[in-house]
């Protein structure tokens, strides 16, 4: 009791560092860790009702989805062959390193918000923005990927019961589909994926609440389906299908060989996304300091074992080249001669994937809601529906965008983008743990990342290695995404943040426009130079001249951007002096 009184005293409002608003544009301004801890102790809006078992079930429920039901087949067929097993192991190791870092943050700052909140408290606002913008890739495109997998299983299940969905409206635009009679048709868009996104979006707007008990039931169904497949189909495994375990490289980077195993690890890493959903429930945990690390690490270990077993059985039953389908586990069950099980697997996958879509869209809308609440996005984004008490504007907008992408993307394209976005968040969180250890070593930590000076760097390096192994097209899309995000931050968020200044002395609309123009010039000029050096140079001007042109583009972009910013700063300074001269009485005070 005395210890608790001391802790509350240390975190009392009079002892807390209040956020300071200054006239300087400090993009590394931070929220106070002690203030967040005090809020966690005093904020009783959310009931602390979740124990370690419920939290672990939450993690398993969020993790098991498209990764096990869909990506197992595509990665085996296109990247690693039977060695997709190794891809899951490597991705699992990278996830464990990151999970230990997440565990320290979740026990230190037991608040909703996950990596976004941790980044704001440790690395500053710019990094928090990067993580928040990055989480859009995880949640929104995660929902895209899962909805595509949901579509494949629904079409297959309906076919089993005699209902046929036209192939033209059940796959990504441009996909060639071979029909039963051998003819091929080109898909126009993925209607089932759009329908499930619309249904889930409507439910979220109305205000659906999933209790821990309901989640436990869903997890039980998911795990039962997975175990049913492992046990029921194991008799049909043919060890010959595992040879060669790592097929020889085809000469294309990432297509079999060790490069294929690594690229496969980067893609199936998507299968482990979800343990951060546990950290978002920290504010509802009975004992977050103890239970958060147990549930985060425990859910990862359980899912890693299940993934390895499923991928081993699937590639042992069906030759890996035949698994490049939206529903590989159902296909493996069909090959195993257990038709009754195939229907159960499809039904279980449909139910499980539906809940993952709901969690992804829920998380996405809440991330936007939190960022808007901090002033980094327009205030209307966080507007609450007067009747349903949900952030309906951001929920509907997210649903529309996700449905559009789900209609035309393939599961592989969406999955790669989700993986690289989440891996980048893991890099930042791993670095953030070290930064906080150095910056605030005196903070009381009930859970400390073991061997932090090994685990945290390995977490960052392993995540970075998986990012590097992903295709260049994925990197290119990530660069586009962040270029757009940086422009939004420096054009809007930096000026409207609750931690920022209310007004910059001397700033006018003209000078602000110059600053924004400078940022745009720097961002997109640098983007053009990167794309030229990495992609187009060898096609048009190979050799030293092409490198010089790319380097000159960088110099020109930064020089002109800096010049525009300098002109704007001089204008602010001059205007501020004029204002002071016009009001000598105020300046005298």
* Mean pLDDT score across all residues of the chain: 80
Report the alpha-carbon distance of residue 418 to residue 413 in Å, rounded. 9
**Which of residues 417 and 554 earns the better pLDDT score?**
554
180-211: buried (b, 16+ CB within 10 Å) or exposed (e) per residue? Answer: eeeeeeebbbbbbbbbbbeebbeebbeeeeee
Over the stretch 465-500, which tens digit does the pLDDT of each residue have? 878 877 777 788 888 888 888 889 988 888 888 887
In this prediction, residues 229-239 reach a mean pLDDT of 87
How confident is the model at residue 443, as a pLDDT? 80
Q: Would you say residue 69 has pLDDT above 80? A: no
What mean pLDDT do residues 144-171 have?
Answer: 81
pLDDT value of position 112: 62
Q: Whose CA is closest to 19, among 7, 9, 34?
A: 34
Cα–Cα distance, 323 to 40 (Å, whole number) = 47
At 313 the pLDDT is 92
The radius of gyration of the chain's CA atoms, rounded to the nearest angstrom, is: 26
pLDDT grade for 585, boundaries at 50, 70 and 90: low
Long-range contacts of 168-173 (CB under 8 A, 24+ apart): 171/326, 172/148, 172/407, 172/408, 172/409, 172/410, 172/413, 173/407, 173/408
What integer pLDDT is reported at residue 463 of this predicted model? Answer: 84
Percent pLDDT > 70 in the chain is: 86
* Claim: this prediction has a pTM higher than 0.85: no
pLDDT in tens, 508-548: 888 888 888 888 888 888 888 888 888 788 888 888 888 99
Nearest to 278, CA basis, from 62, 41, 43:
62
Is CATH 1.20.1740.10 correct for 2-16+27-469?
yes
Q: Tell whether the model's pLDDT for residue 9 goes beyond 50.
A: no
Predicted confidence at residue 14, as pLDDT, reads 40
Q: Tell me the Ramachandran region of residue 377: left when phi exceeds 0, alpha when psi lies from -120 to 50, beta otherwise.
A: beta
**pLDDT tens for each residue of 193-209:** 889 999 888 887 876 55
Interval 129-138 mean pLDDT: 83
| DSSP assignments along 245-313, one per residue | SSPPP-SSTTSSHHHHHHHHHHHHGGGGTTHHHHHTTGGGBSSHHHHHHHHHHHHHHHHHHHHHHHHHH
Per-domain boundaries in the chain: 2-16+27-469, 480-578
Residue of higher predicted confidence among 210 and 436: 436
pLDDT value, residue 454: 92
CA–CA separation, 474 and 145 (whole Å): 15
Q: Is the pLDDT of residue 73 over 60?
A: yes
Average pLDDT on 51-66 reads 79
Tell whether the model's pLDDT for residue 156 goes beyond 50. yes
> What pLDDT, on the 0 to 100 scale, is given for residue 258?
87
């Amino acid at each position: 009791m005395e210890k608790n009184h001391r802790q509350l005293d240390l975190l009392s409002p009079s002892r807390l560092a209040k956020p300071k608003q200054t006239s300087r544009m400090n993009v590394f301004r931070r929220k106070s860790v002690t203030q967040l801890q005090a809020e966690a102790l005093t904020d009783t809006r959310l009931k602390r009702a979740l124990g370690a078992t419920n939290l672990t079930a939450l993690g398993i429920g969020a993790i098991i989805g498209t990764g096990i039901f869909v990506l197992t087949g595509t990665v085996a067929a296109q990247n690693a062959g039977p060695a997709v097993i190794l891809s899951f192991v490597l991705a699992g190791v990278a996830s464990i390193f990151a999970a230990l870092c997440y565990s320290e943050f979740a026990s230190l700052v037991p608040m909703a918000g996950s990596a976004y909140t941790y980044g704001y408290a440790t690395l500053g606002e710019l990094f928090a923005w990067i993580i928040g913008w990055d989480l859009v890739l995880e949640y929104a495109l995660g929902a895209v990927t899962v909805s595509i997998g949901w579509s494949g299983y629904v079409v297959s299940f309906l076919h089993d019961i005699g209902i046929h969905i036209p192939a033209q409206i059940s796959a990504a635009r441009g996909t060639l589909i071979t029909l039963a009679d051998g003819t091929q048709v080109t898909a126009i868009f993925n209607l089932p994926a759009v329908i499930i996104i619309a249904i889930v979006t409507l439910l979220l707007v109305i205000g659906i609440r999933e209790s821990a008990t309901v989640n436990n039931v869903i997890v039980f169904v998911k795990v039962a389906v997975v175990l049913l497949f492992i046990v029921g189909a194991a008799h049909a495994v043919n060890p010959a299908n595992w040879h060669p375990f790592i097929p020889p490289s085809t000469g294309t980077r990432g297509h079999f060989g060790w490069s294929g195993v690594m690229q496969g690890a980067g893609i199936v890493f998507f299968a482990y996304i979800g343990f951060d959903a546990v950290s978002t429930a920290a504010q509802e945990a009975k004992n977050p300091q103890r239970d958060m690390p147990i549930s985060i690490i425990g859910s990862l270990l359980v899912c890693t074992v299940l993934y390895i077993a499923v991928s081993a059985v699937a590639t042992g039953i069906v030759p890996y080249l035949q698994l490049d389908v939206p529903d590989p586990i159902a296909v493996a069950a069909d090959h195993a001669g257990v038709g009754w099980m195939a229907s159960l697997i499809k039904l279980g996958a449909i139910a499980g994937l539906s809940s993952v879509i709901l969690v992804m869209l829920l998380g996405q809308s809440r991330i936007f809601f939190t960022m808007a609440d901090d002033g980094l996005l327009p205030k209307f984004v966080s507007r609450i529906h007067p009747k349903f008490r949900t952030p309906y504007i951001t929920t509907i907008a997210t649903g529309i965008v996700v449905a559009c992408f789900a209609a035309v993307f393939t599961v592989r394209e969406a999955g790669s983008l989700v993986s690289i976005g989440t891996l980048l968040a893991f890099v930042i969180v791993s670095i953030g743990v070290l930064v906080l250890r150095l910056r605030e070593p005196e903070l009381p930590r009930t859970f400390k990342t073991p061997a932090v000076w090994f685990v945290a760097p390995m977490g960052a390096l392993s995540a970075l290695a998986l990012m590097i192994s992903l295709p260049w097209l994925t990197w290119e899309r990530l660069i586009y995404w962040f270029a757009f995000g940086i422009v939004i931050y420096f054009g809007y968020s930096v000026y409207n943040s609750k931690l920022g200044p209310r007004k910059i002395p001397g700033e006018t609309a003209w000078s602000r426009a110059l600053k924004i123009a400078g940022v745009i010039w720097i961002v997109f000029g640098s983007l053009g130079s990167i794309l030229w050096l990495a992609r187009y140079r060898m096609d048009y001007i190979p050799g030293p001249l092409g490198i010089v042109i790319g380097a000159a583009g960088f110099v020109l972009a930064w020089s002109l951007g800096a010049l525009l910013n300098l002109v704007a700063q001089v204008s602010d300074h001059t205007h501020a002096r004029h204002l002071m001269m016009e009001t000598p009485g105020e300046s005298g005070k």
